Structure 1
């Protein structure tokens, strides 16, 4: 084990592991080996992040389940000890309105209530038929087009982009703009000034759209939010920034899961065969949760700060200290998932933390599950000979964004 990993809680910042920890090139779908070693030997330990600060890293599944819902563990990104993902996030935090992504109860509870309705299971389930049509139409277009093709651009990105545009009421003809913009905002390697400029453009775009929907509402989420602004339940600024957050989160992560999940299945042909040969919706739903567990694409961890002293195991996290929860490593914790390194689509995997855990668990998880169920449950049955057109070692992976994925996935059939 590297020397830096021998320091469970002490040591200088220079001696501590630098987070995010690097993946092994020969195992690009697995968590970082150093993170797995930490989970086994020092499950709550200090790490060093981009600005030289040293938050705590929490890697065990049970410890994350204990801390993420704890009211002493805060999502307040204006706290001086908050471990921001990158310089851009640190720069804009003081001026960012209070949203469900940076507040705690009771403010978080109020804001979540204003946007929760459209993402409840019953309402999302009504979208299954429209999502199925989107998926089938895109597959028809793929089959009629060039072969091989990049699955990311031909299928994985258009599916959630079309769905989130329909759900929010965003004109799909603008999808190139919000895809490029959201990718840059989520890129940790982007210059803070450029990311801030693009964030402003997205906010201006949503500002104009919500104002238009105030005067001419439709049957969509942005129109509902415009109505809540009109009724005094939320401010216009809150609605704009919530719309930006939904637009970014609503397509980037799902597109990544469609492409990376397909790659994982190519690497496990026995599991791919299970999906290709089934019409059982329960198996498909379970497969989605197992792929979410296995891949856990959020690679920068969930970030929090302690508002009071919090004990976990033999460690006390002091008030004002930052905390990073490495979700992928926790989802490979053998105490929660025996033989966690094995992709098993029949495994009961619903307790995974790919969507986080506690009151800040991902708002759009029901929509993401539905999209993935339809995509995974249709693509491999419609194109039973679908296979990779390039070996995994030739693929380029995104190591700088908030989510981990492939830059392209050439496929053939």
Structure 2
């Protein structure tokens, strides 16, 4: 058997199962590209987040919970709009969105909530523009997304929210089959659905995955990143006073490493026996790869608990690694670069309006964040 290095330990989950927890950076990367490890959430032994998560993945899945070759086939169908050259073409449009939202934010009474006033409107407007989803419906799909991913939601609530979102998107797909619009959904309809390579039903699951991921992850990172910088004023000063895109890019990577808003790990299941040092992971046993801990591995990130936006953290695992790495990474990075490179220069006196101890953190969803972030200037 191949030796992959040190480290997994058994943990017990909500359902009594005992998957392996992997915390190391090097081992995590190796397992994420190991063909003996499956992302298929319907396999026996897969370590689900909770009962709601297990129930909502019974009937249909997008490519993120599939293995190759089907994973690769579906991913290729929706990947062209996320290519670097296509994301680069959106820079001016994203900058206009961010600056427009900052203009509106500056008119709000102080203190103002950065989460509801800037962070989530940014992520929502950008992903709606990317997919071709009407922004006017954002309250509906934000509410349903929150309900679907909330850990206290009952299985019926989770499945109901998923069906509401998928039903909405299926209606949108049917409408765009008749009347094409700008955005990824219409593009995939023309290139994949009409030729019969992908069904409208499959596209509804893929679209839901992209929509929810685009809302939750970037919105939480904008708010959490701002909070981290306000708590580290010397780091904020470096970012606020620079006009060097390279400094902004390094800041984005370091904040992604430092915060890593996915605190539930990458969930997998072993397809066959894997030997890791003196540990044997047997076929059918679950594996949880914790990128949030791997990103604090001192062997790969010296002094890992210190925020240092000048360090080279581009090898972080916040977006995963290997064939299932986050498809939307280029878009998320563009949004973060734009906000982090604009907001603190536009509002140089930005500061917390409450004590840090009173900031309401969000621990009950798939993505970690803050419920609100009252700031003033």
What TM-score do you get using the length of structure 1 for normalisation?
Answer: 0.89
The Cα of 1:283 is off from its aligned counterpart by 0.8
The answer as to whether partners of 2:119 and 2:222 remain within 8 angstroms in 1 is yes
1:204 lines up with 2:194 in the alignment: no
The match for 1:353 among 304, 312, 317 is 317
1:89 lines up with 2:53 in the alignment: yes
Aligned residue number for residue 3 of structure 2: none
CA deviation string 1:164-201 (max 9, x = no partner) = 11111111100011111111111111111011111101
Aligned residue number for residue 70 of structure 2: 107
The Cα of 1:219 is off from its aligned counterpart by 2.5
The Cα of 1:213 is off from its aligned counterpart by 0.8
Give the secondary-structure state (helix, strand or coil) at the position aligned to 2:261: coil
The Cα of 1:399 is off from its aligned counterpart by 1.2
Aligned residue number for residue 370 of structure 1: 334
Give the secondary-structure state (helix, strand or coil) at the position aligned to 1:350: coil
Aligned residue number for residue 136 of structure 2: 173
| CA RMSD between the two structures | 1.0
CA deviation string 1:189-225 (max 9, x = no partner) = 1111011111101000000001111111123101012
Aligned residue number for residue 319 of structure 1: 283
Aligned residue number for residue 220 of structure 1: 183
Aligned residue number for residue 149 of structure 1: 112
Separation in structure 2 between the aligned mates of residue 73 and residue 149 of structure 1, nearest angstrom:
46
Aligned residue number for residue 296 of structure 1: 260
Output aligned runs, 1:10-409, within 5 Å.
43-97=7-61, 99-227=62-190, 228-409=192-373
The Cα of 1:129 is off from its aligned counterpart by 0.5
4+ residue runs over 3 A deviation: none
The Cα of 1:88 is off from its aligned counterpart by 1.1
The answer as to whether partners of 2:272 and 2:284 remain within 8 angstroms in 1 is yes
The answer as to whether partners of 1:211 and 1:226 remain within 8 angstroms in 2 is no
Give the secondary-structure state (helix, strand or coil) at the position aligned to 1:157: helix
CA deviation string 1:109-145 (max 9, x = no partner) = 1011101111111101111101101111111111122
For structure 1, the 5+ residue unaligned runs are: 1-41
The answer as to whether partners of 2:114 and 2:223 remain within 8 angstroms in 1 is yes
Give the secondary-structure state (helix, strand or coil) at the position aligned to 1:369: helix
CA deviation string 1:238-287 (max 9, x = no partner) = 10100111110011110000000001001110000011101111110110
Separation in structure 1 between the aligned mates of residue 55 and residue 107 of structure 2, nearest angstrom:
47
